[in-house]
């Protein structure tokens, strides 16, 4: 199966789920579900802060982490699309963290901006060193684990 098709399917399914969560939140759809996990997710995302937190974790877990791993493992493949998707993701990250810094100064947001600018530079560069691909694999694993734990952790805190 083509990687672009896999990514499109992932984005489509994730987008559909996020849309349902947004709909439930926006229109205060509180019908109780027979599935306990859905009730817990609804209670997690019922405030705007929690919704943003939830969406960021889902995005990092289902889109960014697999994309980092794919590019890190396949290195310079003949298909430039994954590199373009990563550049777009890093540019969106710069925009997101730039807005955060403009609203309220935050050192972690500044670090994200600097790191994303350097990653874009390395992805555009012709001859990339081996350590760059290894760092993408490491960051992909770290991102997946960290955001997966962030998503699972509140389920143990909700009664």
For the chain, domain boundaries: 3-157
Cα 159 from Cα 24, distance rounded (Å): 21
Confidence at 59, pLDDT banded by 50, 70, 90: confident
What is the per-residue pLDDT for 142?
Answer: 92
DSSP 45: T
Mean predicted lDDT score pLDDT of the chain:
77
pLDDT-wise least confident of 19-23, 32-36, 47-51? 32-36
Residue 15 is predicted with a pLDDT of 66
Least confident of 9-13, 67-71, 101-105, 136-140: 9-13
Cβ proximity of 32 and 39 under 8 Å: yes
Which contiguous run of DSSP H or E holds residue 109?
helix 107-124
Does the pLDDT value for residue 134 go beyond 70?
yes
- Rounded to two decimals, what is the model's pTM? 0.67
Q: Under DSSP, is residue 1 helix (H, G, I), strand (E, B) or coil?
A: coil
CB 87 within 8 A of CB 120: yes
* 148: nearest Cα among 85, 69, 54: 54
> Can you tell me the distance from the alpha carbon of 52 to that of 59, in angstroms, rounded to the nearest whole number?
10
Taking Cα atoms as reference points, which of 88, 19, 83, 96 lies closest to residue 56? Answer: 96
């Amino acid at each position: 199966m083509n990687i672009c098709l896999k990514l499109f399917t992932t984005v489509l399914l994730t987008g559909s789920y996020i849309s349902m969560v947004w709909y439930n939140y926006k229109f205060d759809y509180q019908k109780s579900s027979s599935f306990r996990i859905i009730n817990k997710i609804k209670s997690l995302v019922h405030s705007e802060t929690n919704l943003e937190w939830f969406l960021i974790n889902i995005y990092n877990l289902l889109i960014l982490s697999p994309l980092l791993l794919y590019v890190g493992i396949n290195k310079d493949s003949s298909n430039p699309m994954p590199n373009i998707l990563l550049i777009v993701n890093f540019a969106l990250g710069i925009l997101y963290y730039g807005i955060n810094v403009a609203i309220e100064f935050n050192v972690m947001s500044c670090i994200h901006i600097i790191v994303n600018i350097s990653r874009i530079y390395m992805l555009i560069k012709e001859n990339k060193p081996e350590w760059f691909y290894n760092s993408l694999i490491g960051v992909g694993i770290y991102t997946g684990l960290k955001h997966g734990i962030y998503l699972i952790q509140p389920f143990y805190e909700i009664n």
